[in-house]
């Protein structure tokens, strides 16, 4: 990214020296005089550009960790570029360039009719100063309005050829049946022409009815569809498969949060009242599925699994001499995982676990064969002092912040941004008027996006303030920094308009572009103001001084702008994930 910017200082130095050589001076004299004239300008450009990255160094959270290395690298590269431009570049100009061979070539680089047209435009602008001030204020307002209106995102969606999936079956399924259904699902996925390999496993976390799947796609040069098109085809093929569901999302290089969800973005509900939480989770799930900004809305809300409660008759237990501890110990011996012994060999250790004999089974009928020892030593049938009640209950109860929680997850609809999705979810939540005890929060990438979105205005404002302070110290004035920075609103309009026309969202990558854009534009102002101040000291009136400064700096400004533009071109037109 910095390639187009680290050469700016050298371009400005080189152009100023060549201008003196074109006027007939020998290379050594031109190098000495040209470098002396432009030294303060390069120092101002370098230090003010480094100041742009200072706020990035103090950012916190995941965005700060991502930006720290970028800010360090760019700032150090710019400082080294400035030092080389003040030392090595003049020396090379004095010993390598020949004025006789290069002068005419550079004169042809700026055609006279172009400068004449630019000069006429300058005269008109200087003659309508109030109008141009109004245009500047209008562009400032337009920049603020466009920033608020443009769709916001976190990171651009990637396609690195990997698709992550979560498989889900009925809550009362056995581990063996889950493995068989996952195998059949994987065979169906392998039939897609763009799928290379499929990996699946059933790990029992958080429960036996949930598994994982990883789909490895063929390389870009072989497959014809994006990972998102493949996901759509797989959903269509597996959607009617009975007994098991498959939820897919394209793998992203930047993932935030350890919680695994069925789709990419997470929305968590917390409530101390578990029954209220499960009710409102279903309400919110149905409501989110109606939003056009979202697709593939899924939740942890699942059908409750069968549950048996054993209700004890305390009077009968007292009459038969059975204690509660004896009941608990007997049931754990039969159906728990009580370790009763350990067997050691030369190379390994084996634990002996007490459990009911398999022919008795592990269903409700097994309880009829359970006998509990009484205080008199005689076994008492469990059925003699208890009754069975059939209920339903969730297999797992997740917690977030020590409260029971349910996490809903979603993908974005085509053409929709994460900012639009979060705003739509917030509006829907307010319209439903949930109870006071229900607390909602975004998690994972969505939470990091909320934090970065709140910090973006302060980050841009801090960058502008840092530039203002540095320029104010260098020029010992508050007016000149404002003059230099007055070109920023029009650049902001151009950047945001380009994003809108190309249907890009304002992501963290776009934020980097805006930060770099601030550095490019203020360089142009510095080059003009420096010459204008020098000519004012020579006795020219302000309007004539800035007019001549603009004509004199037209060529280096065009050169540095084209260098930045062409340096960014490979990134703009590059292909890949």
In the prediction, which pLDDT does 228 show? Answer: 85
For the chain, domains (ranges, CATH) are 3-154+450-571 (1.20.1640.10), 158-251 (3.30.70.1430), 305-393 (3.30.2090.10)
Q: Measuring CA to CA, which residue among 85, 68, 78 is closest to residue 15?
A: 85
CA 325 to chain CA mean position, Å: 54
Model confidence pLDDT, tens digit, residues 122-131: 899 989 989 9
For the chain, report the end-to-end CA distance as a whole number of angstroms. 18
In the prediction, which pLDDT does 411 show? Answer: 87
In the prediction, which pLDDT does 5 show? Answer: 73
Ranges of the chain with pLDDT below 70: 99-110, 204-206, 257-258, 301-304, 359-362, 574-577
Q: Evaluate whether 474 touches 47 at the Cβ level (below 8 Å).
A: yes
In the prediction, which pLDDT does 102 show? Answer: 56
Model confidence pLDDT, tens digit, residues 435-453: 988 998 888 888 888 887 8
Phi first, then psi, for residue 13 (nearest 5°) are -65, -45
Instruction: Return the DSSP state at 454.
Output: H
* Total-model pTM: 0.71
Q: Evaluate whether 18 touches 106 at the Cβ level (below 8 Å).
A: yes
What is the C-alpha to C-alpha distance for residues 17 and 103, in angstroms, rounded to an integer?
11
What is the C-alpha to C-alpha distance for residues 18 and 30, in angstroms, rounded to an integer?
7
Q: Evaluate whether 67 touches 59 at the Cβ level (below 8 Å).
A: yes
Model confidence pLDDT, tens digit, residues 241-252: 888 888 888 888
Instruction: Return the DSSP state at 413.
Output: P
In the prediction, which pLDDT does 108 show? Answer: 43
State the helix-helix crossing angle for 27-57 and 61-96, rounded to 10 degrees: 180
């Amino acid at each position: 990214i910095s390639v187009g910017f680290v050469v700016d200082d050298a371009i400005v130095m080189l152009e100023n020296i060549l201008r003196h050589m074109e006027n007939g001076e020998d290379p050594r004299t031109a190098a000495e005089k040209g470098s002396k004239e432009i030294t303060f300008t390069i120092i101002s450009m370098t230090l003010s550009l480094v100041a742009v990255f200072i706020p990035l160094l103090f950012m916190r959270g995941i965005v700060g960790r991502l930006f720290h290395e970028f800010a360090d690298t760019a700032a150090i590269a710019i400082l080294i570029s400035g030092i080389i431009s003040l030392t090595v570049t003049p020396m090379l100009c004095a010993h390598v360039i020949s004025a006789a061979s290069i002068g005419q070539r550079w004169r042809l680089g700026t055609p006279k009719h172009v400068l004449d047209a630019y000069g006429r435009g300058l005269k008109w602008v200087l003659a309508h100063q109030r109008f141009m001030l109004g245009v500047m204020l209008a562009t400032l307002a337009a920049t603020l309005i466009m920033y608020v209106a443009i769709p916001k995102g976190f990171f651009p969606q990637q396609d690195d050829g990997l698709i992550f999936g979560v498989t889900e079956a009925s809550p009362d399924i056995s581990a063996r049946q889950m493995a068989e259904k996952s195998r059949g699902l994987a065979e169906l996925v392998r039939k897609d022409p763009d799928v290379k390999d499929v990996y699946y496993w059933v790990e029992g976390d958080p429960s036996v009815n949930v598994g994982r799947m990883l789909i490895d796609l063929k390389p870009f040069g072989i497959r014809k569809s994006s990972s998102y098109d493949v996901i759509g085809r797989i959903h269509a093929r597996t959607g009617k498969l009975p007994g098991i569901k498959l939820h897919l999302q394209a793998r992203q290089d930047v993932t935030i949060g350890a919680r695994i969800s069925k789709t990419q973005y997470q929305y968590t509900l917390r409530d101390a009242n578990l029954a209220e939480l499960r009710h409102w989770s279903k309400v919110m799930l149905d409501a989110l599925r109606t939003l056009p900004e979202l697709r593939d809305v899924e939740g942890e809300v699942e059908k409750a699994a069968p549950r048996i409660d054993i209700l004890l008759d305390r009077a009968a237990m007292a009459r038969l001499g059975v204690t509660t501890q004896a009941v608990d110990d007997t049931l754990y011996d039969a159906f728990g995982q009580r370790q009763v012994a350990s067997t050691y060999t030369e190379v390994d250790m084996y634990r002996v676990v007490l459990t009911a004999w398999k022919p008795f089974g592990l269903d409700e009928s097994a309880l009829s064969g359970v006998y509990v020892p009484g205080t008199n030593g005689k076994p008492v049938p469990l059925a003699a002092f208890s009754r069975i009640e059939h209920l339903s209950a969730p297999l797992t109860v997740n917690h977030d912040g020590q409260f029971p929680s349910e996490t809903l997850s979603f993908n974005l609809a085509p053409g929709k941004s994460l900012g639009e999705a979060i705003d739509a979810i917030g509006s829907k939540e307010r319209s439903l008027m949930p109870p006071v005890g229900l607390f909602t929060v975004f998690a994972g990438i969505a939470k990091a996006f909320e934090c970065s979105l709140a910090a973006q205005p302060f980050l841009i404002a801090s960058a502008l303030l840092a530039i203002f302070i540095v320029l104010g110290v260098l020029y010992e004035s508050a007016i000149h920094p404002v003059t230099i920075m007055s070109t920023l609103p029009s650049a902001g309009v151009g950047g945001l308009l380009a994003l809108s026309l190309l249907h890009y969202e304002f992501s963290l990558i776009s934020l980097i572009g805006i930060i770099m854009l601030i550095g490019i534009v203020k360089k142009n102002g510095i080059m003009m103001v420096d010459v204008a101040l020098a000519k004012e000291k020579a006795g020219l009136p302000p309007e004539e001084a800035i007019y001549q400064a603009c004509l004199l700096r037209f060529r280096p400004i065009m050169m540095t702008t084209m260098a930045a533009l062409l340096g960014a071109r490979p990134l703009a037109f590059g292909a890949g994930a």
